[in-house]
Amino acid sequence: MRSVWYFMERDMLKWTRSRIAVVTLLIMPAAWLIFVGLALPVTFTGNYLDFITPGILVMTMLASSLQGGALLMFDKILGFLNKFLALPSPRESILFGKILFMTIRGVLQATVIFCVATLLGASILSPAQYFLIYVILILFGVLLSGLAATVALYLEDHDTYTAVNTLISMPLFFTSSALMPYNVMPPWLAAIAHVNPLSFAIDAIRSVEAGIIPFFQIGLLVVLGIIVLTLCVRVFRNVTV
Protein backbone atom coordinates (compact mmCIF):
# COMPACT_ATOMS: atom_id res chain seq x y z
CA MET A 1 0.00 0.00 0.00
CA ARG A 2 2.89 2.38 0.68
CA SER A 3 4.24 1.98 -2.86
CA VAL A 4 0.72 2.47 -4.28
CA TRP A 5 0.43 5.68 -2.30
CA TYR A 6 3.79 6.96 -3.58
CA PHE A 7 2.84 6.38 -7.21
CA MET A 8 -0.50 8.10 -6.60
CA GLU A 9 1.26 11.00 -4.87
CA ARG A 10 3.56 11.45 -7.86
CA ASP A 11 0.62 11.93 -10.24
CA MET A 12 -1.21 14.12 -7.72
CA LEU A 13 1.78 16.45 -7.34
CA LYS A 14 2.19 16.60 -11.09
CA TRP A 15 -1.49 17.53 -11.50
CA THR A 16 -1.65 20.12 -8.70
CA ARG A 17 1.46 21.91 -9.98
CA SER A 18 -0.42 22.73 -13.19
CA ARG A 19 -2.86 25.38 -11.99
CA ILE A 20 -4.60 25.65 -15.33
CA ALA A 21 -5.27 21.89 -15.37
CA VAL A 22 -6.64 21.97 -11.83
CA VAL A 23 -8.93 24.94 -12.44
CA THR A 24 -10.14 23.56 -15.78
CA LEU A 25 -10.98 20.13 -14.40
CA LEU A 26 -12.83 21.66 -11.43
CA ILE A 27 -14.77 24.25 -13.43
CA MET A 28 -15.79 22.01 -16.33
CA PRO A 29 -18.29 19.82 -14.41
CA ALA A 30 -19.74 22.90 -12.70
CA ALA A 31 -20.28 24.45 -16.13
CA TRP A 32 -22.04 21.31 -17.32
CA LEU A 33 -24.31 21.44 -14.29
CA ILE A 34 -25.19 25.10 -14.82
CA PHE A 35 -25.77 25.03 -18.57
CA VAL A 36 -27.48 21.64 -18.72
CA GLY A 37 -29.30 21.66 -15.40
CA LEU A 38 -30.65 25.20 -15.64
CA ALA A 39 -30.89 25.85 -19.37
CA LEU A 40 -32.94 22.90 -20.61
CA PRO A 41 -36.73 23.48 -20.62
CA VAL A 42 -37.73 20.16 -19.04
CA THR A 43 -41.31 19.28 -18.06
CA PHE A 44 -41.13 15.57 -17.16
CA THR A 45 -39.76 16.08 -13.67
CA GLY A 46 -40.28 18.55 -10.85
CA ASN A 47 -36.77 19.67 -9.92
CA TYR A 48 -34.60 18.90 -12.92
CA LEU A 49 -31.50 20.00 -11.02
CA ASP A 50 -31.99 17.11 -8.59
CA PHE A 51 -32.53 14.80 -11.55
CA ILE A 52 -29.53 15.89 -13.62
CA THR A 53 -26.98 16.12 -10.77
CA PRO A 54 -26.41 12.33 -10.52
CA GLY A 55 -25.83 12.21 -14.27
CA ILE A 56 -23.27 15.03 -14.10
CA LEU A 57 -21.53 13.33 -11.16
CA VAL A 58 -21.17 10.06 -13.05
CA MET A 59 -20.12 11.85 -16.24
CA THR A 60 -17.41 13.62 -14.24
CA MET A 61 -16.06 10.32 -12.93
CA LEU A 62 -16.14 8.97 -16.47
CA ALA A 63 -14.20 11.94 -17.88
CA SER A 64 -11.64 11.88 -15.05
CA SER A 65 -11.03 8.16 -15.49
CA LEU A 66 -10.63 8.29 -19.26
CA GLN A 67 -8.34 11.32 -19.07
CA GLY A 68 -6.27 9.56 -16.43
CA GLY A 69 -5.59 6.65 -18.77
CA ALA A 70 -3.48 9.04 -20.85
CA LEU A 71 -1.08 9.38 -17.90
CA LEU A 72 -0.20 5.72 -18.09
CA MET A 73 0.28 6.00 -21.84
CA PHE A 74 2.62 8.99 -21.49
CA ASP A 75 4.68 7.12 -18.89
CA LYS A 76 4.94 4.24 -21.34
CA ILE A 77 5.88 6.44 -24.31
CA LEU A 78 8.38 8.62 -22.42
CA GLY A 79 10.12 5.66 -20.80
CA PHE A 80 9.14 6.31 -17.17
CA LEU A 81 7.24 3.03 -16.99
CA ASN A 82 10.38 1.00 -17.71
CA LYS A 83 12.23 2.86 -14.94
CA PHE A 84 9.38 2.22 -12.49
CA LEU A 85 9.45 -1.49 -13.34
CA ALA A 86 13.09 -1.61 -12.21
CA LEU A 87 12.11 -0.51 -8.71
CA PRO A 88 11.80 -3.13 -5.93
CA SER A 89 8.10 -2.35 -5.38
CA PRO A 90 5.53 -4.77 -6.83
CA ARG A 91 4.70 -4.06 -10.46
CA GLU A 92 0.97 -3.87 -9.80
CA SER A 93 1.52 -0.94 -7.42
CA ILE A 94 2.24 1.24 -10.47
CA LEU A 95 -1.15 0.35 -11.93
CA PHE A 96 -3.07 0.68 -8.67
CA GLY A 97 -1.42 4.03 -7.99
CA LYS A 98 -2.74 5.33 -11.31
CA ILE A 99 -6.23 4.00 -10.61
CA LEU A 100 -6.21 5.54 -7.12
CA PHE A 101 -5.20 8.94 -8.50
CA MET A 102 -7.88 8.88 -11.21
CA THR A 103 -10.53 8.00 -8.63
CA ILE A 104 -9.44 10.65 -6.10
CA ARG A 105 -9.36 13.34 -8.78
CA GLY A 106 -12.87 12.39 -9.89
CA VAL A 107 -14.13 12.51 -6.30
CA LEU A 108 -12.68 16.02 -5.89
CA GLN A 109 -14.57 17.13 -9.00
CA ALA A 110 -17.72 15.50 -7.68
CA THR A 111 -17.39 17.48 -4.46
CA VAL A 112 -17.34 20.71 -6.48
CA ILE A 113 -20.53 19.58 -8.24
CA PHE A 114 -22.23 18.93 -4.90
CA CYS A 115 -21.35 22.43 -3.70
CA VAL A 116 -22.49 24.12 -6.92
CA ALA A 117 -25.71 22.09 -7.07
CA THR A 118 -26.56 23.06 -3.49
CA LEU A 119 -25.97 26.74 -4.24
CA LEU A 120 -28.21 26.49 -7.33
CA GLY A 121 -31.09 25.01 -5.34
CA ALA A 122 -30.62 21.25 -5.28
CA SER A 123 -31.98 19.34 -2.31
CA ILE A 124 -29.69 18.98 0.69
CA LEU A 125 -29.20 15.35 1.69
CA SER A 126 -28.29 13.71 4.98
CA PRO A 127 -24.67 12.78 5.81
CA ALA A 128 -25.49 9.09 5.38
CA GLN A 129 -26.86 9.75 1.88
CA TYR A 130 -23.76 11.73 0.89
CA PHE A 131 -21.59 8.90 2.23
CA LEU A 132 -23.42 6.30 0.13
CA ILE A 133 -23.18 8.49 -2.95
CA TYR A 134 -19.42 8.80 -2.49
CA VAL A 135 -19.16 5.02 -2.11
CA ILE A 136 -21.00 4.59 -5.41
CA LEU A 137 -18.79 7.17 -7.13
CA ILE A 138 -15.61 5.51 -5.83
CA LEU A 139 -16.74 2.07 -7.03
CA PHE A 140 -17.66 3.50 -10.42
CA GLY A 141 -14.38 5.44 -10.58
CA VAL A 142 -12.34 2.30 -9.92
CA LEU A 143 -14.33 0.44 -12.60
CA LEU A 144 -13.80 3.13 -15.26
CA SER A 145 -10.17 3.78 -14.26
CA GLY A 146 -9.37 0.11 -14.68
CA LEU A 147 -11.02 0.14 -18.09
CA ALA A 148 -9.10 3.28 -19.13
CA ALA A 149 -5.80 1.80 -17.97
CA THR A 150 -6.49 -1.42 -19.91
CA VAL A 151 -7.20 0.53 -23.10
CA ALA A 152 -4.09 2.68 -22.59
CA LEU A 153 -1.91 -0.42 -22.22
CA TYR A 154 -3.17 -1.86 -25.49
CA LEU A 155 -2.72 1.29 -27.59
CA GLU A 156 0.58 2.70 -28.77
CA ASP A 157 0.08 6.46 -29.25
CA HIS A 158 -1.84 9.29 -27.64
CA ASP A 159 -3.84 10.28 -30.73
CA THR A 160 -5.33 6.81 -30.98
CA TYR A 161 -6.18 6.85 -27.29
CA THR A 162 -7.90 10.24 -27.66
CA ALA A 163 -10.01 8.87 -30.51
CA VAL A 164 -10.98 5.79 -28.51
CA ASN A 165 -11.68 8.03 -25.49
CA THR A 166 -14.19 10.04 -27.50
CA LEU A 167 -15.68 6.89 -28.99
CA ILE A 168 -16.29 5.49 -25.51
CA SER A 169 -17.36 8.57 -23.52
CA MET A 170 -19.96 10.30 -25.68
CA PRO A 171 -22.06 7.24 -26.64
CA LEU A 172 -21.97 5.97 -23.06
CA PHE A 173 -23.23 9.28 -21.67
CA PHE A 174 -25.97 9.96 -24.21
CA THR A 175 -27.29 6.37 -24.11
CA SER A 176 -27.59 6.41 -20.32
CA SER A 177 -30.33 7.65 -18.00
CA ALA A 178 -28.37 10.85 -17.28
CA LEU A 179 -30.55 13.32 -19.18
CA MET A 180 -34.01 11.75 -19.10
CA PRO A 181 -35.91 8.95 -17.34
CA TYR A 182 -36.58 5.65 -19.05
CA ASN A 183 -40.30 6.25 -19.54
CA VAL A 184 -39.76 9.19 -21.93
CA MET A 185 -37.03 7.48 -23.99
CA PRO A 186 -37.69 5.75 -27.30
CA PRO A 187 -37.94 1.98 -26.71
CA TRP A 188 -34.62 1.24 -28.44
CA LEU A 189 -32.80 3.86 -26.34
CA ALA A 190 -34.40 2.65 -23.10
CA ALA A 191 -33.22 -0.91 -23.86
CA ILE A 192 -29.63 0.32 -24.27
CA ALA A 193 -29.82 2.58 -21.22
CA HIS A 194 -30.92 -0.29 -18.98
CA VAL A 195 -27.66 -2.18 -19.65
CA ASN A 196 -25.39 0.88 -19.71
CA PRO A 197 -22.88 0.84 -16.79
CA LEU A 198 -23.36 4.60 -16.39
CA SER A 199 -27.05 4.02 -15.77
CA PHE A 200 -26.21 1.58 -12.96
CA ALA A 201 -24.31 4.30 -11.09
CA ILE A 202 -26.81 7.07 -11.96
CA ASP A 203 -29.82 5.02 -10.87
CA ALA A 204 -28.03 4.04 -7.67
CA ILE A 205 -27.40 7.69 -6.77
CA ARG A 206 -31.01 8.61 -7.52
CA SER A 207 -32.17 5.76 -5.29
CA VAL A 208 -30.00 7.09 -2.47
CA GLU A 209 -31.52 10.55 -2.97
CA ALA A 210 -34.97 8.94 -2.64
CA GLY A 211 -33.96 7.27 0.64
CA ILE A 212 -33.44 3.77 -0.80
CA ILE A 213 -30.24 1.76 -0.42
CA PRO A 214 -29.46 0.36 -3.91
CA PHE A 215 -27.98 -3.00 -2.94
CA PHE A 216 -28.38 -4.45 -6.45
CA GLN A 217 -26.61 -1.60 -8.27
CA ILE A 218 -23.83 -1.42 -5.67
CA GLY A 219 -23.27 -5.18 -5.89
CA LEU A 220 -23.24 -4.97 -9.67
CA LEU A 221 -20.62 -2.21 -9.62
CA VAL A 222 -18.48 -4.28 -7.23
CA VAL A 223 -18.66 -7.36 -9.47
CA LEU A 224 -17.90 -5.37 -12.64
CA GLY A 225 -15.04 -3.59 -10.86
CA ILE A 226 -13.46 -6.89 -9.79
CA ILE A 227 -13.74 -8.28 -13.33
CA VAL A 228 -12.23 -5.17 -14.92
CA LEU A 229 -9.40 -4.93 -12.37
CA THR A 230 -8.55 -8.61 -12.85
CA LEU A 231 -8.42 -8.12 -16.62
CA CYS A 232 -6.39 -4.91 -16.20
CA VAL A 233 -3.79 -6.60 -13.97
CA ARG A 234 -3.48 -9.49 -16.41
CA VAL A 235 -2.98 -7.13 -19.36
CA PHE A 236 -0.47 -5.07 -17.35
CA ARG A 237 1.57 -8.16 -16.53
CA ASN A 238 1.61 -9.33 -20.15
CA VAL A 239 2.55 -5.90 -21.50
CA THR A 240 5.36 -5.28 -19.03
CA VAL A 241 7.04 -8.70 -19.31
pLDDT at 211: 86
Cα distance between residue 42 and residue 175, in whole Å: 18
Residue 128 has pLDDT above 80, yes or no: yes
Return the C-alpha torsion angle 39, 44, 45, 51, nearest 10. Answer: -60
Q: What is the share, in percent, of the chain residues with pLDDT greater than 90?
A: 7
- Residue scoring higher pLDDT (143 or 72): 143
Quick one: pLDDT band at residue 2, thresholds 50, 70, 90?
confident
The contacts of residue 102 (CB under 8 Å, 6+ apart) are 64, 65, 67, 68, 69, 71, 141, 144, 145, 148
Quick one: pLDDT band at residue 134, thresholds 50, 70, 90?
very high
| 14 in Cβ contact with 70 (< 8 Å) | no
Quick one: pLDDT band at residue 136, thresholds 50, 70, 90?
very high
The structural domains of the chain, with segments of one domain joined by +, span 2-240
Q: How many CB atoms lie within 10 A of CB 48?
A: 18
Residue 25 has pLDDT above 80, yes or no: no
Residue 236 has pLDDT above 60, yes or no: yes
User: What's the rounded mean pLDDT across residues 75-104?
Assistant: 82
For the segment 52-76, what is each residue's pLDDT rounded down to a tens digit?
888 888 888 888 888 777 777 777 7
Q: What is the share, in percent, of the chain residues with pLDDT greater than 70?
A: 93
For the segment 150-184, what is each residue's pLDDT rounded down to a tens digit?
888 777 777 777 788 888 888 888 888 887 888 88
State the average pLDDT for the chain: 82
Q: How many CB atoms lie within 10 A of CB 173?
A: 18
Cα distance between residue 34 and residue 40, in whole Å: 10
pTM: 0.86
Instruction: Lowest mean pLDDT of 47-51, 141-145, 188-192, 195-199, name the range.
Output: 47-51
User: What's the rounded mean pLDDT across residues 11-24?
Assistant: 77
Residue 216 has pLDDT above 80, yes or no: yes
Could you please report the per-residue DSSP string of the chain? -HHHHHHHHHHHHHHHT-HHHHHHHHHHHHHHHHHHHTTS---SSS-HHHHHHHHHHHHHHHHHHHHHHHHHHHHHHHTHHHHHHTSSS-THHHHHHHHHHHHHHHHHHHHHHHHHHHHHTPPPPPHHHHHHHHHHHHHHHHHHHHHHHHHHHH--SHHHHHHHHHHHHHHHHHTSSSSS-GGGS-HHHHHHHHT-HHHHHHHHHHHHHTT---HHHHHHHHHHHHHHHHHHHHHHHHHH-
| 53 in Cβ contact with 117 (< 8 Å) | yes
| 81 in Cβ contact with 61 (< 8 Å) | no
